[in-house]
Structure 1
């Protein structure tokens, strides 16, 4: 399920670069959308993981916070070969994508207000350094779910 939510006006950048010589893509506003979001069904009362892709058709931005009215805590993590570490932010490249996926960067969702069930949707509020907050509804899927596979 692809969710695309955002607000506010987007201003067009004029010219080919800033006064300091930066490229227009570096100063243009980000144009963000969210796709392929899902949460694999977590164990009863346990923490869950969240995955999604933030697409950006504009200038660079940074994911700096994630929260949810239905969870006590949502944190951003990066998996390495042997550990999982919490990070404070993730870059969203200009004209690129930030992918939160199994085995890499992901969200950890803790202290659910209500135990999630298949088909539920959890609201996640993604806060970006430049673009503000985008709210998305993320579906709870089977543990084995992978986007793009039947």
Structure 2
């Protein structure tokens, strides 16, 4: 083999190995949050929040916790049929979304530091099993607020 052929073979092999490493087609989770709101709480110690988490990445992940200075405890809740229960995590599928809505999956805030009113904004951090945390600003709406479909 001459030098040119050897160099071409080496380049082809290197390119093939580089492409093989990318062969899964999966990309890291990429999250955006849309439609966040918190209905103005009717009690002084409890509130809920709702939004949609979109994952534009090719790898699924899950929300494992939510933190904020606004409440002593924030829990993830899932709804199956008419039964609501606390969840350890909520899945966000690859190239999909997780909807948190009234009557469905949602966040519960317990032990509020203060009772927010319409116009306030609550800031939380969504924590995931694998991805970096995402900060979400949640505007407080009227108690009877219904998002547009």
TM-score, normalised to structure 1, is 0.80
- How far residue 83 of structure 1 moved from its aligned partner, in angstroms, is 2.4
Structure 1 stretches lacking a partner, 5+ long = 1-13, 18-23
Residue equivalent to 1:74: 74
- How far residue 144 of structure 1 moved from its aligned partner, in angstroms, is 1.8
- How far residue 34 of structure 1 moved from its aligned partner, in angstroms, is 0.6
- How far residue 112 of structure 1 moved from its aligned partner, in angstroms, is 1.1
Structure 2 stretches lacking a partner, 5+ long = 1-20
The reply to whether residue 102 of structure 1 matches residue 98 of structure 2 is: no
Residue equivalent to 1:16: 23
Q: How does 1:39-54 map to 2 (within 5 A)?
A: 39-54=38-53
CA–CA distance in 2 between the matches of 1:94 and 1:135?
Answer: 20
TM-score, normalised to structure 2, is 0.80
Residue equivalent to 2:112: 112
Residue equivalent to 2:138: 138
**Secondary structure of 1:119's partner?**
coil
RMSD: 1.4
- How far residue 82 of structure 1 moved from its aligned partner, in angstroms, is 3.5
Q: Give the aligned length.
A: 128
- The structure with the largest alpha-carbon Rg is 2
CA–CA distance in 1 between the matches of 2:79 and 2:32?
Answer: 24
4+ long deviations beyond 4 Å: none
CA–CA distance in 1 between the matches of 2:90 and 2:107?
Answer: 11
- How far residue 115 of structure 1 moved from its aligned partner, in angstroms, is 1.2
- Which structure has more helix as a fraction of its residues? 2
Tell me if the contact between 2:42 and 2:143 (Cα under 8 Å) persists in the aligned partners. no
